[in-house]
Structure 1
Amino acid sequence: MAKIARGEIWLVDLNPVRGHEQAGKRPCLIISVDLFNQGASGLVVVLPITSKDKGIPFHVKINSPEGGMKTQSFIKCEDVRSISVERLDK
């Protein structure tokens, strides 16, 4: 697997999910520190990204082409989760 760095955006398969969690294969921002990302746990901490503007004040807007995004998108800061690196696809 390629080196995973804090601040990068990776495509992530978030399925299966429960309840109102963000689902599907979508971009996510890596927020865990690099030392953790390269550690033995095999986990990273991410924030899912959506293209839907719901007017939520704690969604951080990303203007294309920032972060390699093709369209204006929003980082869902309320949806922090730890995931296996096996879910990542650059």
Structure 2
Amino acid sequence: MPEAKLAREAEICYATVAMVTDYDCWHPSHETVSVSEIIKVLTENSMNAKNLLKSTIPLLSAQDEDNDCDCNTALENAIITAPDARDPEMLENLNI
């Protein structure tokens, strides 16, 4: 999951939302589905995703910066080089 790693490095909270369209190709007890059935479920999933975003974004926007999520401090211990061995120019470039 490269997206999750990049989000972590940017100290951004990240969650995957997966919505199934069909599982006949790997589930032996299910019949084959048609393209129209898949499109129907895709359309429903699209509406579900929009509703999820509409209900979630206001909640996330309302959080203040002092929340206790670990994502906000993911890089706190990212530099493990001993303080006396750190390159001052590099620290300046990293804005630390």
Q: TM-score range by the shorter chain?
A: under 0.3
Q: Which protein has the bigger strand share?
A: 1
Which protein has the larger Cα radius of gyration, Structure 1 or Structure 2? 2
